[in-house]
Copies of this chain bind each other. A is one copy, B any other.
Amino acid sequence: MTIDSSLVGTKRLLRVLAGERLETPPIWIMRQAGRYLPEYREIRAQAKTFLDFCYAPSLAAEAVLQPLRRFDLDAAILFSDILVIPDALGRKVEFLEGEGPRLPPLLDETNWRFEDVERAIQRLAPVYETVDRLSKALPAPVTLIGFAGSPWTVATYMLQGQGGEKDRSRRGAYERPEEVDALLELLVEATARHLEAQAKAGAEVLQIFESWAEGLSESLFERVVLKPTTALVKRLRALGVTQPVIGFPRGAGLHYPRYAAETGVNALGLDTSVPVSRLRAFVPKEMALQGNLDPQLLVLGGQPLRDGVAKVLAAFEDRPHIFNLGHGITPEAKPEHVAELVAAVKASAA
């Protein structure tokens, strides 16, 4: 185990983000607060809509604290949604039970108009209030992570109005390039300001979820992922935000190396399909890697889970590593399997 003496006492997640390899990697789980927990489903019923829940600091903060009462996790992530940005920019966002979010597709409209960024960020005050409460409530060793969707990921929902295959958004990017680029620029600014506000409220790490990196040609990836993400990280630094940024370009495949090298993110989230052995050559040795257990193993548990954990630990053994899944935990996952996972990782230096 290597220890940089200047970091002794620092939270474990922050040490790894600073480039240190810990023999027992820190662990947190994407969507660790959420539907797989009965206590979450219980408090969820106290708000009418999902966005109402996200905008209620007492409920959102309580959701974040729930998994920490069950599991020995090294980080907590704000409970919110990537679509609070379009909501704050004046687009109607609805979450349909079992169907995911729905927005009026921008691609059905001409003459796009949005709320200005200053006012949008003011509207999101309850989110920062949640961060503030959490930063005071979290146990000392736990790192608080803020987050946002990447400009392209958020744009795809705004453009075509829903998730699933992003064919229509991609077509929109080809067909209405000036408007889509202007939308991405607006989202860079709004997202930078949103992350800045989270950082000011107490977020110690910021994660950018690029959930629609897949299926993009290299030139489109450059235009809608690399360029806006680079601008976003640069803008954050210009705003004086010093927190480490984890970029998670899920599904980026062979674009991962360029994302790692060009965007300026400090650490890289890896989806389950990333073969760590192959990626290693392209990523600076001190860049922390986060991931990448198959979430389905938390549905199954048992020997497949133990085997999967051992493989992930082995794959990352010579890198600064944050243990996580390769995608969010699913509602079907069993809390007792999460407990098994955390125990297995915590025992990994033994």
Query: Which residues of A pack against B, CB within 8 Å?
Result: 167, 170-171, 174-175, 214-221, 251-258, 271-279, 292, 294, 296-297, 299-300, 304, 308, 311, 315, 326, 330
Closest chain B residue to A218, Cβ basis: B275
For A315, the closest partner residue in chain B by CB is B218
Q: B170–A214 contact, CB under 8 A? A: no
Contact, CB under 8 Å: A214 / B217: no
State A330–B254 Cα separation when bound (angstroms): 24
> Which of A276, A278, A296, A297 has the most chain B CB within a 10 Å cutoff?
A296
- Give A310 Cβ to nearest chain B Cβ, in Å: 10
Q: Do residues B218 and A294 form an inter-chain contact, with CB atoms below 8 A? A: no
Nearest 3 A-B pairs (CB), nearest first?
Answer: A253-B253, A218-B275, A174-B304
Contact at B253–A251, with CB atoms within 8 Å?
yes
| Partner among B171, B219, B253 whose Cβ is within 8 Å of the Cβ of A296 | B171
Q: How far is the CB of A125 from chain B (nearest CB, A)?
A: 36
Q: Give Cα A40–Cα B171 distance, bound, in whole angstroms.
A: 25
A selection of 11 A-B contacts at a CB cut-off of 8 Å is A174-B296, A214-B251, A215-B273, A217-B272, A220-B294, A221-B275, A253-B254, A253-B256, A254-B254, A255-B273, A258-B275
Report the nearest B residue to A171, measured CB to CB: B296
CB-CB under 8 A from A175, the residues of chain B are 300, 304
* CB of A210, distance to nearest CB on chain B (Å): 13
Are B311 and A219 in touch, CB under 8 angstroms?
yes
Please indicate the chain B residues that have their CB under 8 angstroms from the CB of A255 in the complex: 273, 275
> Do B272 and A254 have beta carbons less than 8 Å apart?
no
The answer to whether B296 and A167 have CB atoms under 8 Å apart is yes
Query: For the complex, what is the distance from the CA of A115 to the CA of B277, rounded to whole Å?
Result: 41
Chain B: minimal CB distance from A317 (Å): 15
CA of A278 to CA of B218, assembled, Å: 10
- Enumerate chain B residues within 8 angstroms of A273, measured Cβ to Cβ: 214-218, 221, 253-255
A170 contacts B296, CB within 8 Å? yes
Q: How far is the CA of A311 from the CA of B174 in the complex (A)?
A: 14
Cβ–Cβ contact A272 & B216, under 8 A:
yes
How far does the Cβ of A178 sit from chain B's closest Cβ, in whole Å?
Answer: 13
Known: A170-B294, A174-B300, A297-B174. Is A215-B272 also a contact (CB below 8 A)? yes
Please, how many angstroms separate the alpha-carbon atoms of A274 and B252 in the complex? 10
Q: How far is the CA of A175 from the CA of B167 in the complex (A)?
A: 33
Q: Please indicate the chain B residues that have their CB under 8 angstroms from the CB of A274 in the complex.
A: 253-254
Query: In the complex, what's the smallest C-beta–C-beta distance from A253 to chain B, in angstroms?
Result: 2
Q: Does the CB pair B326–A217 fall under 8 Å?
A: yes
Which of A274, A294, A299 lies at the interface centre, i.e. has the most chain B CB atoms within 10 A of its CB? A294
The winner among A252, A253, A276 for most chain B CB atoms within 10 A is: A253
